[in-house]
Structure 1
């Protein structure tokens, strides 16, 4: 049985090599600027930690939709410090005679890094919007059972037909203003009724489901037909 040899990721190897070189350049520059002993080793750690913290904070702010200007600023500061050390130790700067302004920058870096890390940690993130919940559908009320129809008693004598009174035409009810949210909710109830029964919902069922007056239920049923 052969063992599978783990494949080495080229990107990871490249990242380790680049990080080690950048770490060494920062150490050499700090030592040349007068920071000897453990202090020279602490400078590359501080620069790399600020770079990683700014990048992680940037990703968090972009996920929540908050402003990323401060995170980008501190990311650029850390990147400039790392890139500047790499360029300065490439032979363009005499490490035996470091200028005064560079000594001032190296000496002031701890306070600058502490300020950047503090601001990154305490930058508030935008609150996530609350999810919009659809109105809960009301439970259908039980439909009363129809009463038994009494049997007609046959009469010995024929009952004279009564004259049918004339029915005057009623005026059509004025259309009611139905809120759009109520129309959307009624459409969901009608779709659920059609899925369960296979028939479109009528105004009586819609009135019982939503607890609406009869004119409004009739108008909603006409819109959903």
Structure 2
């Protein structure tokens, strides 16, 4: 498999600290992955990346380790490190996991929703809308993660928070694929209004129903996009429901 190139940086990396080397590499590779410049399955060769970024392999490996933890990159013995592929089965699993996790998060956080929670939810929603208005797809993905992440932060459930953190990378890929499926530069501007209204309301059952509907929207089109683009070629067989 031929290694894909990432955009070269205009910043003089030699002047940066070791920690900033890592942060810069992570940012560049993450951006290339989410934009599709590094498509699913692209191999990341350490020697080539070290030369391209003009760094030693130390900070490069640290950067790759962070991307692995984020769920954007995987290392497989004898095959190397590459961008993860997102199959139709992955999309379905992400959907079912998110519904379960976020419903549970709201159950845990429901009585904790004070004025600070409400203000922060509205602030994060405003940030998301601003990124959409700016046409900044990558920023909108991160803003959407921050919006949905608030309820996990408010839940006070540490294991739930760690589980959410481990899912973020695949969600970024899922949303990037979803946006390409709809030929848009971010989610719909009004796409989170009902979510925010339910999260600020007094009916937990209505919040659960909104979550199911919110996460269902666009799922079928995303699956169709993955199939049509050939990104679902490594799809895992569907498991029998118990």
Q: TM-score range by the shorter chain?
A: under 0.3
TM-score by length of 2: 0.25
Structure possessing the higher radius of gyration over alpha carbons = 1
By relative contact order (CA 8 Å, sep 6+), the higher-ranking structure is: 2
Higher percent of residues as helix: 2
TM-score by length of 1: 0.26
